[in-house]
Every structure is written in C-alpha cells, then in structure tokens.
A and B are shown apart, each in its own frame.
Chain A
Amino acid sequence: MSLSTDDVAKIAHLARLAVTPDETGALKRDLSNILDLVAQMDAVDTADVEPMAHPLEMAQRLREDRADREDRRDDYQANAPAVENGLFLVPKVIE
C-alpha cells in the first residue's frame, strides 16, 4: 500500500490537521508502512466471521432522564482559551 501526496493531503484535511510540505514525505512513508503491516490481515479468510465490536457482551444501560450533577459551567470553562458571558468564542463563522 503506497499513499500519494494527494492522499496524505486529503487525510490530513479530513482529520483537520495542517501538514507542511516538509512533513508530507515522512508521513507518506510512515503511513504506507503502517498500512502494509495492517494488510497482513488480508491473508486470513473472515467471510463467515461475526465482527467483534466490544470485548464484553453487554447492552447499553439506560438511566432515568434527569439532571443528577451540579452545574459547574464556570469551572469547566476555566480551561477554555476564550469565553465571554458563558459562551465559547471562535472566529466569525457567519458574515
């Protein structure tokens, strides 16, 4: 499996990562090597195998729909890079 420069750029965009032209070469090589490792799975026939999504067979628990924790908005927003009036600030998205 060999990824192209365009592939790397496309994946980086989907992952919302900025990749510089300097990094692209190494990423192309490393990601291709990892995909070669992953390709070893192709050697085994899994046509009749049920996929395993989770180690334990368990159903998702449900709980009553009611607030059970204190409101600590200010504490949680203390880690935000920019807040105002309880709102997270981002660059303008609507002109």
Chain B
Amino acid sequence: MHDKTLAQLSAALQARKTSSVELTQHMLRRIKELDGRLNSFVTVTEAEALAQALIADLRIAAGQAGPLTGIPIAHKDIFCTREVRTSCGSRMLEDFVAPYDATVVARLEQAGAVMLGKTNMDEFAMGSSNETSHFGAVRNPWDDDTVPGGSSGGSAAAVAAHLCVAATGTDTGGSIRQPAALTGITGLKPTYGRCSRWGMIAFASSLDQAGPMARSAEDAAMLLTAMAGFDERDSTSADRPVDDYVGALGNDIRGLRIGIVGEFMDDGLDGGVGASVQAALDELQRLGAELVDVSLPNAHLSVPAYYVVAPAECSSNLARFDGVRYGHRCEDPKDLEDLYKRSRSEGFGAEVKRRIMIGTYALSAGYYDAYYLKAQKVRQLIADDFRRAFERCDVIAGPTAPGTAFRLGDKADDPVSMYLQDIYTIAVNLAGLPGMSIPAPASDGMPVGLQLIGDYFDEARLLNVAHQLQLATDWHQQAPKGFE
C-alpha cells in the first residue's frame, strides 16, 4: 500500500478499496519500524492522525471527499501546528507548542489530508544536509552513510522511504529541491508569494516559500492545488487565481522550448550527474521539446548575493527569540542583557549563530551599502538574466545539485563548501521564480535531480513537463532497498 502514489491511493480510497484508518495505521507502523534508521520525524502525532483518518473515512462514506481526503502526509517542523510541538529543528523551540495552524497546514487539513507528524530539518532551515538539526542528522534512505540534503531533509527522506505519502517543505535557497534531488523524489518550490507564509517560521522573508514534496509530479500538482492561494494574513501573498495544475498535466509538450543554461553544465558539475541530467534532457527532446541554449551570466554571483540577503533577513527575523515571550530561556539571568545573550547562545546552534552574525555585520552602521545594497543590485542582475532567458524559452532545465548525496560529516566543518551545494538552486529564490526537482536516471545507484525552472506563476507548465517526462520514464518509481 505504501508503494502507491497519492493519486493511486486517492482513487483507492474513493473506491473503498481501502480506508484512511487502515492506510494511516500502516504508515504509522512503518514509521515505528523503519524511522529509527533515518530519524526523519521529530514528532509523530499518532492519536491525532487516527482521529483525522476516522473523520476522513466518514466524509468518504458520505460522498463529501476531495482528492486529498484521508491521505496521510507529514509537515516540515517549520510549520506551526496547533497544539502540536513546532521545534524548527532548534533547541530554542524544543518545547514550543504552536497556538495556531500555519495557513498551509490549515488548507491541507481542510482538504482532508491526515497529519502523521512533523519532520526533521536543518535548524531554522539553515543548512543543506540536515546535519544542523538539534534533533540529530537525518540519514538518506538510499545510503545510511550519506545525507538526505536539506533543509527539508526529514520530509525528503520520509517521502523517499515511503513513510508518508507526501510532505510539505520550504525552500529559501534550495531547501525543497536539493533534498528532493538527493533522495530521488519530486519537489516544487512555487513562485514567491504563491503559498502563504503565515505560520511558517521566518528565515529570510523575501525568499521563503512553501511547497510540496511527493512521489510524482501528479502528486505534487494535487498537493499544490490545496496549498496555493491568496492569504490576507501574509503581507506578500500573491492575490491572483490559482491555476488548474492537475488539468494541465496532460498538455502536449511538443514544440515546447526548453532552455539549457550553459553556466550550469560546466566543470563544477559531477560527471555522473551531468550524464544523468543529459539523459533526461535527451528524453525531453525525444518527447518533442526543443532544446535551446540560454545564458545566465550573473548566476555565479547568486551564492555570494544570497549570503548577504538571507543572513541579513535572518538576523532581523531571529531577533524575536529573546527568552521573554517564547522559546528557550537561560537559568538565573542577572540582567536583561544577560537574559538575551545567554538564552540566544544556548538556544541557537553554530550555523544559525554564524548566519545571524554575518547578517548583523552586513546591516551594521557603515556597511549597508557595501553588502546589503550591493547584494540587492546583484539580485536585480540575476532576475534580469532570467527575464532575458525566458524571451528565448518556455522552461529552463539543468541539474538541481552539483553532485549526488555526500557523506555525513563531509562538509559539516566547512560552511562555504556546504553553501556551494546550492549553486544551481539559489538564483531561482533570488529572482522569486518557481523551480522543481524531479528524478533523472541514478548515478552509481544514487538519485540525481533534474531541475526545471519556470517563469513567474508558471507552476502548471513545470508540473506538465515533469508529468510528461514521468509518463515516459520510470526514474521516479525507484525505491531505496529496505523501504520498497
């Protein structure tokens, strides 16, 4: 039952071939039996899940079910979930019980999805390996010695290991796409503003975006349909109608112009990954798409610009953790400054502190023009590159990450080498465009991601291209040994 896609399980539930309670119990059993190896969940909400499943079954029996009714999913622990601990992977929020639901969580619940629990993540979504979590690293189900990527590493590992049907993630610099690539699943970062940020713990507010992580493009389309939409509680929510993502899946892609970014297929790319990505591009061409060369001449500046913009916004957003209103508080503070400093130093891990300090420095008196303003100008150049590229093509394709999953500990002591994991994904966040990662053929038995980048609010086309590729190939149907 766990090897089925969301679309298949949805059909099985509607046809009463199985019940949501049965499906939910099965997934909870798998989490109990198998997650000891992965550490992909930080909280399992068994009682709540079974109660939601029971309600879902009643709705199905009453003929009131939608496509997500009764489907067990997991939420990244960055989304606030009412009366359920929401830790954001941090000691700071180890005991934080959210008083309300994030909009994305509420929308999926309204659509009838069942929440199995909360998934592990890099602390405050800062990391590309899931090793910065206060709750321990997550292991990649394809190879226990390697990382699942990050920051949505728990969601990615849980979906890849079939411990849940699908999961939510967030992507500030690649945090949905890179783990999706490293674990062989399908992940979509929508256009900035497409999914509400309300109740999603803030990291870098001009970049943060929620999206689905699933087994196929069709599943991702079904989830995004429920997740996307205007929310007056998010001041940068896009006030425009949501497209028919599922309806567009069947569109013909013959004649579609796919832009290949020369700068992304260069020496920095692992040879095996490059060959896999090329095989996926060849298949798209065979399906009738036309490959055209495009250039993003400033893309190499995306990581440098990001490491000003994201830390600057993070230092401002994380100022709220002061040991007063919520979160960790130190013992016996002698005065207010001691309370702030010790609570924050004890509550945050090393990577979060580094980013807060970089951001604080970049925003400090005398440095604003040299860092933040400069980065915003470079950000404009990068967005202009994409605008010009989309005059020549409909979709851009290339690698998601420069290599396959790396070994635990390999990059943990070298922040800059970790940051370079995101060289192909970060430009998309800076520009605010939608991007997704879908499986290409494996390289040496390890998953490889093909990244598809669309123009603003062109998620339907991305999902359509991904779905057509998945209809013609079985790369997305592979399962890691022991989790089939």
Contacts and interface: CB of A to CB of B under 8 A. Distances in A.
B65 interface: no
Interface residues of A, number: 50
Q: Interface residue tally of chain B, by bracket?
A: 35 or more
B325 A79 contact: yes
Given A41-B304, A56-B432, A63 B206 contact: no
Interface string B256-268: 0000000000000
Interface in A34-83: 34-42, 44, 46, 49-56, 58, 60-61, 63, 72, 75-76, 78-82
B324 A88 contact: yes
B381 A11 contact: no
A35 B451 CA distance: 28
Contacts of A50: 377, 380
Contacts of B21: none
Given A16-B340, A56-B236, A33 B379 contact: no
Which of A52, A53, A93 counts the most B-chain CB atoms under 10 A from its CB? A52
B336 A90 contact: yes
B364 interface: yes
B304 A90 contact: no
Given A31-B361, A44-B378, A80-B326, A17 B356 contact: yes
Interface in B417-434: 419, 430-433
A53 B307 CA distance: 15
B373 interface: yes
B325 A88 contact: yes
B315 A34 contact: no
Interface string A6-47: 011001101111110000000100110111111111101010
Contact of A31 (B238, B358, B373, B419): B358
A49 B377 contact: yes
A45 B278 CA distance: 34
A33 B415 CA distance: 8
Contacts of A52: 376-377, 379-380, 383
Contact of A15 (B97, B324, B360, B416): B360
Q: Top 7 A-B pairs ranked by shortest CB distance?
A: A55-B432, A51-B376, A81-B329, A46-B377, A52-B380, A79-B326, A18-B341
15 contacts: A7-B361, A11-B361, A34-B307, A37-B419, A38-B375, A39-B304, A40-B300, A44-B301, A46-B378, A49-B378, A51-B373, A79-B96, A81-B323, A91-B336, A91-B338
